[in-house]
Amino acid sequence: MDVLSRFESESVDCVITDPPYGTGANTVAGRLASPVSKYRSSGVKSSLPSIAGDSMLPEAWAEMITSIMRHALRVCRSGANALWFCDWRGYPSLMRIAGSVGWGIKGLLIWDKGKGTRPFKNGFRAQTELILWTRKGSLTDRDPPVYLDGVFAHRTPVRIHHMTEKPVALMRELVEICPPGGVVLDPFQGSGTTGVAALQSGRRYIGVECVSEYHGIACRRLEEAAKP
Amino acid sequence: MDVLSRFESESVDCVITDPPYGTGANTVAGRLASPVSKYRSSGVKSSLPSIAGDSMLPEAWAEMITSIMRHALRVCRSGANALWFCDWRGYPSLMRIAGSVGWGIKGLLIWDKGKGTRPFKNGFRAQTELILWTRKGSLTDRDPPVYLDGVFAHRTPVRIHHMTEKPVALMRELVEICPPGGVVLDPFQGSGTTGVAALQSGRRYIGVECVSEYHGIACRRLEEAAKP
DNA sequence: CCTTGCGATGAATCCATAT
DNA sequence: GATATGGATTCATCGCAAG
């Protein structure tokens, strides 16, 4: 929030980000504990740093997301699109918050992670993540026409950088919504996959991350991606 | 509601249904008009009967859905699963209502209609419908273990019976959540595709429909599907 | 160099036991 | 009696080592 508040208004063309889901823990103890354990099978030790904000109480999470969405709206130019990752639990809140701070709600995209995800006994495999699509105001003539799909099938990558790392190929498809040469902002950068995709696709990029280990990883990856 | 209220409690093993979405009209004038026009390209004449309940005011829609979900919960046995079609606008309301009347919210399934759907200029194609998955209480030993997928790719069929007709192949995949021989209920039957799939897959079936033309169509299709 | 096999893992969920 | 914890479950996939 500190960083975003210092940005100039109307200086960004697109937001693509994966906020913490706020579903990290079912119990108070779990919310206070390290959030890493949820994502591990029992007894397995992780070598990846924890992620921030995934184990917040629901109201704290909502307040944080509200604030970020408000800031993001200010720094975006009119006609800018924003894509927000979420799961099926968080989507209703995210949609309500986005609408209430003034984003136009445009639709819902699907990331299909495929059959590699864990099966669900007596039920349906949770193999998707959702992407809320919003826009600030209406389009300008700065936006060349593009026609993109609504479902993206990509396997989850082997976790080499971050606990919830996205495939670069997925992010490259999403980045297409930003006009070439435009600025993409990711306020929850993590290991910087959004930025790698943006730079590879000829967009400019700004990322923000509060966990210093991930900041370092992202810097290295972005330098690599920016090489000619 | 009249019909459902006469059912015995705990007499149904599974609910699979496609309620009206309540998104039929953005204007009061539109809500008062015939709902059929929304689903047609301009100037094209439809020979299909209108569907009921698609042009309700939001609060009337919510009240109707609440009532149906309450009735459905009563007639379901413990451990019964229910699948409710919706779109990305209606999902938050549907999830909230389901939870508030006592259904356990289990997850979200995706019907991917594919690239045959209309593209979206300067944006992402709206090519999916969502399916809210709920369950009454917890599983019993009457339920044999099944492991099903969470994304279903099937093209929309040519509309021969109903305005929002689903592919039989899609419904056959969903019906697998009901134990073989169990009773599937569809309180918004339409042209009866759920029933056709249920009968073809060795489940029993009860359907309810308030538009008499669709009732007739469904009866014919179900008789056909029930033939040995 | 290609195939085979083994082990480990997953934005998870369930249920019995412990607090 | 309500809440928290921990172990078991499931299979498609990937990495790595051996053949």
Number of domains in chain A: 1
Is A134's CB less than 7 Å from nucleic acid strand C? no
Mean of the per-residue pLDDT values of chain B:
90
pLDDT computed for residue B41 by the predictor:
53
Per-residue confidence in pLDDT tens, chain A, 228 aa? 999 999 999 999 999 999 999 875 555 544 444 444 454 444 444 557 777 777 688 888 999 999 999 999 999 999 999 999 999 999 999 999 999 999 999 999 999 999 999 999 999 999 999 999 999 999 888 889 999 999 999 998 887 889 899 999 999 999 999 999 999 999 999 999 999 999 999 999 999 999 999 999 999 999 999 987
Mean pLDDT across B177-192: 97
Specify the higher pLDDT residue, B188 or A55. B188
Phi, then psi, of B217 in degrees rounded to 5 = -60, -45
Query: How many Å does it take to go from CA A188 to C1' C12?
Result: 24
The residues, any chain, with a CB within 8 Å of residue A124's CB and separated by 6 or more, are: B106, B107, B109, B133, B148, B149, B150, B177
Partner-chain contact B151 A110, CB within 8 Å: yes
d(CA B135, CA B85): 15
**Does the CB of A121 fall within 7 Å of any strand C atom?**
yes
- Looking at the predicted structure, is the pLDDT value of residue B164 above 90? yes
Q: A88-124: buried (b, 16+ CB within 10 Å) or exposed (e) per residue?
A: bbbbbbbbebbeebebebbbbbbbbbbeebeebebbb
Mean pLDDT of the region B53-62 = 88
Residue with CA nearest D8 C1'?
A: A42
Residue B73 CA to its chain's centroid (Å): 15
Question: How many cross-chain Cβ pairs, A to B, lie less than 8 Å apart?
Answer: 105
Q: Which residue is nearest to nucleotide D3 (CA to C1')?
A: A27
- What is residue A50's predicted lDDT score, i.e. its pLDDT? 72
Three-class secondary structure of residue A57 per DSSP: coil
Q: Which of residues 165-184 of A touch strand C (CB under 7 A)?
A: none
Asked whether residue B149 carries a pLDDT value surpassing 90, the answer given is yes
Q: Which residues contact A139 (CB under 8 A, 6 or more apart)?
A: A79, B122
Question: How far is the CA of B132 from the CAs of B19, B81, B107, B108, B141, in angstroms?
Answer: 12, 10, 6, 5, 24
Give A92 to chain B, closest Cα distance, Å.
5
> Phi first, then psi: what are they for A172, rounded to 5°?
-65, -35
Q: Nearest nucleotide by C1' from A126 CA?
A: C12
pLDDT digits (tens, 9 = 90+) for B83-123: 999 999 999 999 999 999 999 999 999 999 999 999 999 99
Q: Cβ–Cβ of A121/B145 closer than 8 Å?
A: yes
* Nearest protein residue by Cα to C1' of nucleotide D14: A158
Distance measured from the CA of protein residue A148 to the C1' of nucleotide C12, in angstroms: 31
Question: Taking CA atoms, what residue in A is nearest to B141?
Answer: A122
**CATH code where residue B117 lies:** 3.40.50.150
As a whole number of angstroms, the distance between CA A193 and CA B218 comes to: 50
How many residues appear in chain B? 228
- Across the interface, which of B122, B126, B149 has its CB nearest the CB of A125? B149
Q: What is the pLDDT of residue A104?
A: 97
Helices (H) and strands (E) counted in chain A, each on its own, are: 7, 9
- Domain interval for residue A61: 4-225
> What are the start-end ranges of the H helices in chain B?
2-5, 28-32, 58-75, 91-101, 168-175, 193-200, 212-226
Find all residues with CB under 8 Å of B29, minimum gap 6, and list them. none
∠ Cα B136 B137 B142 (to 5°): 85
pLDDT of residue B29: 55
Question: What pLDDT score does A33 carry?
Answer: 46
Interatomic CA–C1' length for residue A39 and nucleotide C4, angstroms:
30
**Whether the predicted pLDDT of B30 surpasses 60:** no
CA B114 / C1′ C9 distance in Å = 31
Q: Which of B122, B138, B141, B170 to mutate to test the interface with A (most CBs of A within 10 A)?
A: B122
pLDDT confidence of residue B158: 85
